[in-house]
Amino acid sequence: MGKISGIAYLTSRWIRRQPLWLVQDAFMIVGFALIMFVWGGITGLKNVFVAWFISGAWGMGINLVAQSIGWDKQHRVMDMFIAAPVKPWHYVFGYFLPGLIFVAVDLMFMLPLIAYLNAWNILLASLVAVAPLLITGTLLGLVIVMRIKKATNISAITNPLQMILVILPPVFYPAQLIPLNIRYFVLLIPTAAGAELARQLAGLSTWHNLWYPVAVLVAWVIIGILASAKMVKWGLE
Amino acid sequence: MSVIARHMAKKYAGKIWGARDIDFEAENGKITVLLGPNGAGKTTTVGLLSTLLRPTKGEALIDGYSTVREPWKVRERIALCPQDIKVDMNWTPWDAVKGYLMVRGYSREEVMERGEKYLRSMELWDVRTRPSIRLSGGQRKRIAVAMVLASGAPVIFLDEPSSGLDVEARYVVWKSLREEAKNGKVIVLTTHDMREAEMLGDQIVMISGGNSVAKGTPEELRKIIPYAYKIVVKNPENMTGRADIDFGDRKIIYAKTRDEALEIMENIKAESVALEEVTLEDVYLHVMGGENGKN
């Protein structure tokens, strides 16, 4: 535990010294909630809860954790941890834990609304969908950043990957709007499958096909584990 | 405790050899300096010893444990300060040392005690709460050195620890390294700075083209070169004889004995003619066989 807390201590310094990132995050939540309420009323507001958790989990994995580790690798700080009694999972967890501060801030701002709307089922459903997305995002992000040779490509690759997979697929809008034959293809995208799983569990979707997003997410977790096991090397390269 | 490199070689992707035949042993209580020009294979050697790289041939043993077969046993015993490390701009010196000591398993009290000791030894105590973005390049480099020295690891690898440091900062690092060696640590560091090698090294391993080409104490290495003296000539007027090293208006001539040197000097007319004993730099040029080296 000391190893993880040591790495978490080091990796949380930037949040402590640059707290405005948390303020930005909080304003984004309020802003999106307002937009969704203005256009979609209470239903829109409920859907933004799901979308926010999904995009937050995906962003935390592929962007926050993986990108930070990518920079660590480029700056040779990772080499110090490889040449020390630190296991790869200590290291990844050490990066993962400080990221939860963002989740906590998101929750802090959402909780009054969730309580007001009595939308606890949405919160629980979203958290179920968030778990596989966090794992998949982190592992796939690691696979990408550990193979990047040029430092400037880290953000250039992971930022669009985070944004595109949240904005384009049905995350902020329901998958049931997409024709059924195309919907199956679209829901192969992990963020779309996560959002659909949360909506179905929370009763926000009129499409009842729970096994499909579950199967897709399980497959992505397996792909993430296999790809990272094969491609992410902890020294001895 | 010892570090043994047995005929290590490393071939990177693209069939580029980072090391071809590196063979030496480093003992506890001594500083072993890996000396060589840029691209000689020093960083690759440190990477092989510190479990970052897998040797293509040969092996490395740390305290008898193989870096390939027993990397976790090795990692418990080592600490590495990589070349060109950039500590996070948000870390203060205190953050960096505290976090790294937590990672290395020290208790809260030990972290406080060791943290203070090593930040003081690196002369960073007064700036311990200042984020590294507000520190000089030399201070940032010393943060990384403080981290590895504070780790208490019995084997410490430092890849060019004093590159980019000014004279005073370099002396601060040297002093701490000598103290750590005195306390029984095995210290292996790389440099291309002759003076650093001469000042710090109990043992010097010269590396060229991926091969360890010479090793020994500075005194032993000086005996490799078949000359004991060198004549440094400035602005020669009538020098028609040999010049072993030619810098245009500065020339160096080597001599086996003092008498031979004095005899050569009698026949030279120049702005200045100085007689010096050979140094590690002369050995280096001799061993490396560079453009101006005398083989």
Whole-number Å distance between alpha carbons of B180 and A34 = 61
Q: Give yes or no for residue B293 having a pLDDT over 80.
A: no
Sign of CA dihedral A216, A219, A224, A227: negative
CB B78 within 8 A of CB A84: yes
CB < 8 Å to A77, chain B: 85-88
Local confidence band at A140 (pLDDT 50, 70, 90 cut-offs): very high
Of residues A72 and B157, the one with the higher pLDDT is B157
- Are A235 and B53 a contacting pair at CB < 8 A? yes
Local confidence band at A179 (pLDDT 50, 70, 90 cut-offs): very high
Q: Give yes or no for residue B291 having a pLDDT over 60.
A: no
Sign of CA dihedral A166, A167, A172, A178: negative
Instruction: Name the residue among B78, B90, B98 with its Cβ closest to that of A14.
Output: B90
Whole-number Å distance between alpha carbons of A20 and A32 = 18
CB A115 within 8 A of CB A38: no
CB < 8 Å to A82, chain B: 50-52, 75, 80
* Tens of pLDDT, residues B207-234: 999 999 999 999 999 888 889 999 999 9
* C-alpha distances out from residue B95 to A98, B100, B131, B143, Å: 15, 8, 9, 10
How far is B99 from chain A, CA to nearest CA, in Å? 5
Q: What percent of chain A has pLDDT over 90?
A: 58
Q: Which of A16, A80, A91 to mutate against chain B (most B CBs within 10 Å)?
A: A80
Read off the pLDDT of each residue in B135-163 and give the average, rounded to a whole number.
95
- Are B103 and A2 a contacting pair at CB < 8 A? yes
CB A20 within 8 A of CB A92: no
Cβ-count burial B269-291 (b if 16+ within 10 Å, e if not): ebeebeeeebebebbbbbbbeee
* Tens of pLDDT, residues A2-20: 899 999 999 999 888 888 8
The conformation of residue A168, written as its DSSP 8-state character, comes to S
Structure tokens at B224: 């490799």
CA-nearest residue to B53 within chain A is: A236
- Are A84 and B157 a contacting pair at CB < 8 A? no
Could you identify the residue written with the tokens 């005690």? B113
- Are A6 and B144 a contacting pair at CB < 8 A? no
Helix (H), strand (E), coil (C) string for chain B: CEEEEEEEEEEECCCEEEEEEEEEEEECCEEEEEECCCCCCHHHHHHHHCCCCCCCEEEEEECCEECCCCHHHHHCCEEEECCCCCCCCCCCHHHHHHHHHHHCCCCHHHHHHHHHHHHHHCCCHHHCCCCHHHCCHHHHHHHHHHHHHHCCCCEEEEECCCCCCCHHHHHHHHHHHHHHHHCCCEEEEEECCHHHHHHHCCEEEEEECCEEEEEECHHHHHCCCCCCEEEEEEEECCCCCCCCEECCCEEEEEECCHHHHHHHHHCCCEEEEEEEECCHHHHHHHHHCCCCCCC
CA-nearest residue to B72 within chain A is: A85
CB B70 within 8 A of CB B113: no
* ipTM reported for the complex, 2 dp: 0.90
**Residue A193 forms beta bridges with which residues?**
none
Instruction: Give pLDDT, residue B6.
Output: 97
Structure tokens at A202: 């929370």
Instruction: Give pLDDT, residue A23.
Output: 87
CB A58 within 8 A of CB A67: no
Torsion of CA B177, B178, B183, B184, to 10 degrees: 90
Local confidence band at B13 (pLDDT 50, 70, 90 cut-offs): confident
How far is B97 from chain A, CA to nearest CA, in Å? 9
CA-nearest residue to B95 within chain A is: A10
Q: What percent of chain B has pLDDT over 90?
A: 78
Nearest-CA neighbor of B19 among B159, B209, B284? B209
Q: How many residues does chain A have?
A: 237
Of residues A214 and A32, the one with the higher pLDDT is A214
Interface of B with A (CB under 8 A): 50-54, 67-68, 71-72, 75-76, 78-88, 90-92, 95-96, 98-106, 131, 144, 147-148, 151, 153, 157
Cα diameter, chain A: 56
The conformation of residue A62, written as its DSSP 8-state character, comes to I
